[in-house]
C-alpha cells in the first residue's frame, strides 16, 4: 500500500471515528436532558416532605415571610372595683376576646389550660361575679352542636376543686386530654392558649377560670388571621396531646413533624396596618422543645441581653431559685442577666412584681437585693415595685385579687408568656411565650403596635396607686410580703 493511500485511509478512519463520537455525544446529551426533565417533573409532582412543607420564603434579613394578614392586639382583664384614669391605655377586654373567638369558630377550637374553674361552685364560692365564666362555659358547650370540633388539654393532677366543667364538656362532645407532667417531667402543664380554626390564636396568663375574667389581673395577646403562627402553635398543642396518651414517654429527639421553621434566628415577618412585625414562639421545658424551637429561657435571656435602653418586667412571681422541689436550689440565670444589663449595658430596669395574700415571702430578699443595686450616681438603674390589687369586700374568693401578668417589654421586643419567673417553670414545667419585635411610624406606634401598647400599660401600672416601692411597703393587709 502506497504512503498516499495509507494517509487517505487514516484520514477517513479518523473522520469516521470523530463522526461516530459526535453522534454518541449528541445522543448522550439528549438522554441526560430528557432524564433531567423527567426527574424535575417527578420532584414537582411528589408531595413535600414535612421539612420542606414547613420551610417558608425568607427575606434578605433571614426572616420567614408570610402572606397572612396577621392582626396583633393586647388583651387585658382588670379586676372589678379597680379604677384607672379614663384616658389610660387598656388592652381589649379578655372576656370580649374569648367571646369573639368562640363566635367566629367554624371548624375547630383547641384550648390548653392549667385547670378549669369557670363557675363559682367549682371553688365553693357563691358570687355573682362568676357570671362571665358561666357564659364562656355555656358557649363552649354549644360548639359541638354547631359541628365545631373542640379539644381541651389540661394538667393532671390539678388543683383540688369541685370543678365539673370538663365532665359537662365531655358530655357535650368535647374531647379532653389530661397530661401528667409530674410523671413526664416532675412539673405541671402551665401553658394557657387557644387556637381557633388554625388561624386565630390567644396566648396569655389566663387559665379557664371565672376569676380570670373578673377577679384577677391578666394579660395576653390575640393574633387574628395568622395561619402560619396558628399552625406552628398547633405543633405544640399536638406534643401535649400525644403525651397525654397512656404509657407515653418523652421522645428524644422529637419526630420531624414537631419541628419548626420559625424561631429566634428566623422569625416570621408580618406586615399589617403600617406595622412591620417579626414573631416567634418559645417553649419550656427543654424536654418538650425540639432543637429547631427556641427555648423560653433562651428567649428571655436574649431579650434582656439585647436591650439597649430599658427593660420593663411585670410578673406575678420572681424567685431566682427552684421552689417546688426539695432541696430547693439557687437558680440565678434571669437574675444575673438583669444585673448584667443594668451594670454593663447601663440599661434602665424596672421590675413590677405582684404581691397578694398568697404570694411567696421567699421573693422579698431577692427583690431587696436587686433594688439595692440601684445607684444612679454610678449609672446603675434598677427599680423594684410591688403591684397590689385591693381585696376590698372580695376576701371570700380564694386565689384572687392578684396581678397574674407575665410579660416584658424592652426598646427592642415585646414578650408575653405563661410562666412565672422562678426556676421550676423553665426546667420542668410546660409554658409558651410569644416574642414580637416591631417597627412603625411614630403616630402608629402607640395605637397599633403591640410593643407600644405594652409599654403604655406598664407605665400606667408603674405610676398607678397600686404600685408600691419596696421601701414604702410597711404593713399592708393585701400583701403577704409586707412586714
The residues assigned a catalytic role are 190, 192, 197, 404
Q: Which residues pair with 269 in a beta bridge?
A: 65, 278
Q: How many CA atoms lie within 13 A of 203 on its CB side?
A: 29
CA 25/CA 108 separation, integer angstroms: 60
Under the phi-then-psi rule, with left for phi > 0, alpha for psi from -120 to 50, and beta for the rest, what region is 379? Answer: left
Q: Which residues contact 32 (CB under 8 A, 6 or more apart)?
A: none
Instruction: Name the residue with cell 448522550.
Output: 28
Q: Which residue(s) pair with 70 in the sheet?
A: none
* Cα–Cα nearest to 419, from 288, 331, 317: 317
- Residue 217 is classified by DSSP as B
Q: Is 62 left (phi over 0), alpha (psi -120 to 50) or beta?
A: left
- Sheet containing strand 218-224, edge to edge, reads 92-93, 71-77, 218-224, 200-204, 193-196, 108-113, 149-155, 175-179
Residues in Cβ contact with 412 at an 8 Å cutoff, skipping those fewer than 6 apart: 303, 306, 307, 308, 437
Q: Is 9 exposed, middle or buried (0-12, 13-18, 19+ CB in 10 A)?
A: exposed
Q: How far apart are the first and last CA of the chain?
A: 124
Question: Quick check: bond before 157 cis, omega within 30?
Answer: yes
Amino acid at each position: 500500500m502506497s504512503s498516499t493511500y495509507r494517509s487517505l485511509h487514516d484520514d477517513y478512519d479518523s473522520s469516521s471515528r470523530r463522526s461516530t463520537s459526535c453522534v454518541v455525544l449528541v445522543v448522550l446529551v439528549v438522554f441526560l436532558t430528557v432524564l433531567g426533565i423527567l426527574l424535575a417533573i417527578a420532584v414537582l409532582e411528589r408531595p413535600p416532605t414535612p421539612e420542606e412543607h414547613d420551610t417558608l420564603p425568607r427575606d434578605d434579613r433571614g426572616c420567614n415571610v408570610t402572606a397572612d394578614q396577621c392582626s396583633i392586639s393586647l388583651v387585658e382583664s382588670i379586676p372589678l372595683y379597680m379604677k384607672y384614669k379614663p384616658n389610660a391605655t387598656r388592652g381589649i377586654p379578655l372576656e370580649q376576646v374569648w367571646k369573639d373567638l368562640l363566635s367566629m369558630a367554624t371548624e375547630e377550637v383547641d384550648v390548653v389550660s392549667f385547670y378549669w374553674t369557670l363557675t363559682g361552685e367549682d371553688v365553693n364560692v357563691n358570687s355573682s361575679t362568676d357570671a362571665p365564666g358561666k357564659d364562656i362555659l355555656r358557649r363552649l358547650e354549644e360548639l359541638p352542636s354547631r359541628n365545631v370540633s373542640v379539644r381541651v388539654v389540661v394538667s393532671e393532677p390539678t388543683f383540688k376543686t369541685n370543678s365539673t366543667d370538663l365532665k359537662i364538656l365531655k358530655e357535650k362532645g368535647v374531647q379532653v386530654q389530661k397530661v401528667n407532667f409530674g410523671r413526664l417531667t416532675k412539673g405541671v402543664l402551665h401553658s394557657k392558649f387557644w387556637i381557633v380554626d388554625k388561624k386565630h390564636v390567644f396566648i396569655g396568663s389566663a387559665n379557664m377560670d371565672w376569676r380570670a375574667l373578673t377577679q384577677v389581673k391578666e394579660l395576653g395577646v390575640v393574633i387574628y388571621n395568622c395561619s402560619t403562627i396558628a399552625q406552628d402553635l398547633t405543633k405544640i398543642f399536638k406534643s401535649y396531646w400525644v403525651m397525654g396518651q397512656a404509657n407515653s414517654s418523652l421522645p428524644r429527639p422529637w419526630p420531624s413533624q414537631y419541628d419548626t421553621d420559625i424561631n429566634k434566628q428566623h422569625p416570621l415577618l408580618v406586615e399589617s396596618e403600617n406595622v412591620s412585625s417579626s414573631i416567634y414562639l418559645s417553649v419550656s421545658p427543654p424536654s418538650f422543645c425540639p432543637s429547631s424551637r427556641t427555648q423560653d429561657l433562651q428567649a428571655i435571656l436574649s431579650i434582656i441581653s439585647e436591650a439597649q435602653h430599658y427593660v420593663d418586667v411585670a410578673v406575678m412571681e420572681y424567685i431566682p431559685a427552684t421552689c417546688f422541689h426539695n432541696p430547693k436550689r439557687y437558680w440565678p440565670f434571669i437574675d444575673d442577666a438583669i444585673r448584667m444589663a443594668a451594670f454593663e449595658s447601663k440599661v434602665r430596669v424596672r421590675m413590677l412584681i405582684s404581691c397578694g395574700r398568697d404570694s411567696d415571702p421567699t421573693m422579698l430578699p431577692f427583690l431587696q437585693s436587686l433594688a439595692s443595686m440601684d445607684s444612679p450616681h454610678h449609672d446603675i438603674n434598677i427599680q423594684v415595685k410591688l403591684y397590689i390589687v385591693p381585696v376590698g369586700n372580695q376576701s371570700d374568693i380564694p386565689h384572687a385579687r392578684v396581678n397574674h401578668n407575665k410579660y416584658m417589654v424592652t426598646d427592642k421586643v415585646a414578650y408575653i408568656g405563661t410562666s412565672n419567673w422562678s426556676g421550676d417553670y423553665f426546667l420542668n414545667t410546660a409554658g409558651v411565650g410569644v416574642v414580637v419585635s416591631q417597627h412603625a411610624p411614630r403616630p402608629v406606634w402607640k395605637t397599633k403596635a403591640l410593643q407600644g401598647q405594652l409599654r403604655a400599660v406598664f407605665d400606667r401600672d408603674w405610676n398607678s396607686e397600686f404600685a408600691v416601692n419596696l421601701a414604702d411597703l410597711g404593713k399592708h393587709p393585701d400583701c403577704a410580703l409586707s412586714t
